[in-house]
Structure 1
């Protein structure tokens, strides 16, 4: 009997010891996950709606778990205050201007608190600080948005199906192009014309490029010292001379215009019968009278010569003409006698 009782006591003791080990191990594991045995600070955040957040939820910072939610309680009229335990080891990385936002562990996972932001210019967070909160979309809003997008996508696919059915039936321009060979031929011709226009545009572009090269070459010539183009652009003396020459050419042109105008006026007067020269040139009556007058003058001169010849032979005037002839002969002989003397003097 004693041996059986001792054996039973030993078995119970072993099972109790195993239970105690399992209990301690569970407590250590759970405590490690809940950060119960790690030194921490308390940080608060006030939300308008926690969306089902529970105590013991994880707190994340930059994708790393840094603490847990310790307590959730109402604050003020309708807000909720969330108290979080944050490890002291990561306290130096969280700043006072950081923000706390509600998020989910995955798409439809448990609610968590995520600490985001914070600048290096701000001091580190301390025990009892209250972080600013950042509004985030909850699951219901996300699902509502997804439902609206699904409805829009359904309408788009339905409209696209209708359009494809009409196109396959040959309705509209697209259906005509697909089913009508004439339209297809015209479309091909249009594309060929567009290709030709594109080639022409490319040629124009190349021409413009060559023209740009020519302009660059001309500009380089303008910048080259000693060339006429550079002197015309930079030398003020040449420009001043060109301006003076242009002014003189303008004066000559004005003078030529005035001369042309005067010649035209003189020609008009010569062609007119209102003046003597015009009458002489254009009026036949005046020409005939002038010819008659000249003929009469010639006749009168001839008769005058005959009369003078007759007077020379008349005995009344014969002595006068002889004396005159002698005087003329003396003058000629005197002139002939003085001619050699003048020549010797000149020598």
Structure 2
């Protein structure tokens, strides 16, 4: 065998080895995707309509691929039995009351079987168990729902068309706003009034802020009243004193009222003197008589002083009074 033939044989052998390696890698890759080389259990589910599920479609649990569909066969009269190969390590999460549901990988993706987890209180599935089937919306149901939604959208569009037409014609409050110039002017005037009111409110707020800031200045009466407890206590004392004075004045006013009422009454001496004219005349006469009697008494006393029988007595009395007066003057003149 020549060197060229040996070289060709080596190249062909290398290509064959590479092809075998690629074939084995492809088989392993496809087997890995199909879960052919992992420990698995078999589960079954019976559907009324599988909607295109075929052997090789994926099985998902909580969004994670856990197996594949191994067989699709008719069951009974018109049902379809689907056999699932599920990884053994996922068995502990699937309970006997879990549900099998037809779904798709994305909106227009491949068909798949989704296992919906059941309550954790029930036992886990075993090899060969049959899962109950969850109701799923088929394409016809989806189209029917879309048709109903389209009808609703059309009805809403027609209603909006009617409303917009009425608005353009000036009907209703919104239509009046769009077409009535008088109402538009009123709305603009209202906006101006609101702006003026807002400006006034801002000025009042600023004034109040300035006033409150002045209250914080030390030395002012407002600050003393708000912060100084001594001033506040003195003010409370002054208020109490004013209240007591007001009570005393009120009591005095009451007494004066009672006295004035007594003065107008004829049941007491002062009232009789002030109100009874006859008694007043008698009192005047009595006073006049007393004055006359007093005058006559003075004349009699003068006459007695000049009587020779009592003249010595009155002279001694006068001398004694004069001596007492002189003694008092001397005592006052002496230095203290």
How far residue 171 of structure 1 moved from its aligned partner, in angstroms, is 2.2
Cα displacement (A) at 1:160: 0.8
Counterparts of 2:185 and 2:123, CA distance in 1 = 75
For 1:80 and 1:307, the matched residues in 2 are separated by: 164
- Partner residue, 2:53: 54
Structure 2 partner of 1:178:
178
Candidates 248, 253, 261, aligned match of 1:268: 261
1:324 aligns with 2:313: yes
Note closer, same or farther for the CA distance 1:323–1:75 as it changes in structure 2 (3 Å cut). Answer: farther
Give me the whole-angstrom Cα distance separating, in 2, the residues matched to 1:337 and 1:171: 125
Structure 1 residue 114: Cα displacement: 2.9
Match for residue 17 of structure 1? none
Q: Which runs of 5+ in 1 are unaligned?
A: 1-20, 222-226
CA offsets 1:167-198 (integer angstroms, 9 cap, x no match): 22222222222222112212222333444455
Q: Closer, same or farther in 2 for the Cα pair 1:310/1:243, shift >3 Å? A: closer
User: Following the alignment from structure 1 to structure 2, what is the Cα–Cα distance between the partners of residues 104 and 59?
Assistant: 10
Aligned equivalents of 1:173 and 1:338: distance in 2?
118
Deviates more, 1:290-299 or 1:148-157: 290-299
Q: Are 2:36 and 1:38 aligned?
A: yes
1:18-37 matches, cutoff 5 A: 32=30
State the match for 2:5 in structure 1.
Answer: none
When residues 339 and 266 of structure 1 are mapped into structure 2, their CA distance, relative to the original with a 3 A threshold, is: closer
> How does the TM-score come out when normalised to structure 2?
0.62
2:202 and 2:81 mapped to 1: Cα distance?
A: 70
Partner of 2:139: 139
1:59-100 per-position Cα deviation (integer Å, ceiling 9, x unaligned): 154767554312345789998653212467xx4698335764
Contact 2:43–2:127 (8 Å) recurs in 1 = no
Q: Give the 3 Å change call, closer, same or farther, for CA 191–277 of structure 1 in structure 2.
A: same
Contact persistence 1:92–1:124 (CA under 8 A): no
Contact residue 45 and residue 133 of structure 1 kept, 8 A: no
CA distance in 2, matches of 1:203, 1:76: 88
Matched, 1:149 2:149: yes
1:292 aligns with 2:290: no
The correspondence of residues 183-332 of structure 1 with structure 2, limited to 5 A, is: 183-197=183-197, 210=209, 254-310=247-303, 318-328=307-317, 331-332=320-321
CA change 1:252–1:87 in 2 (3 A) is same
Deviation at 1:103, TM superposition (A): 0.7
Residues 107-139 of structure 1 show CA distances to partners (whole Å, capped at 9, x for unaligned) of: 35553213466999x999875566676554332
Aligned residues: 297
Quote the RMSD (CA, aligned, Å): 5.4
TM-score under structure 1 length normalisation: 0.60
Contact 2:101 2:116 in 1 (8 A): yes
Decide whether the 8 Å contact of 2:66 with 2:90 is kept in 1: no
Q: 1:147 deviation in Å?
A: 1.3
Separation of aligned partners in 2, 1:60 and 1:126? 17
Q: Measure how far apart 1:277 and its partner are.
A: 1.4
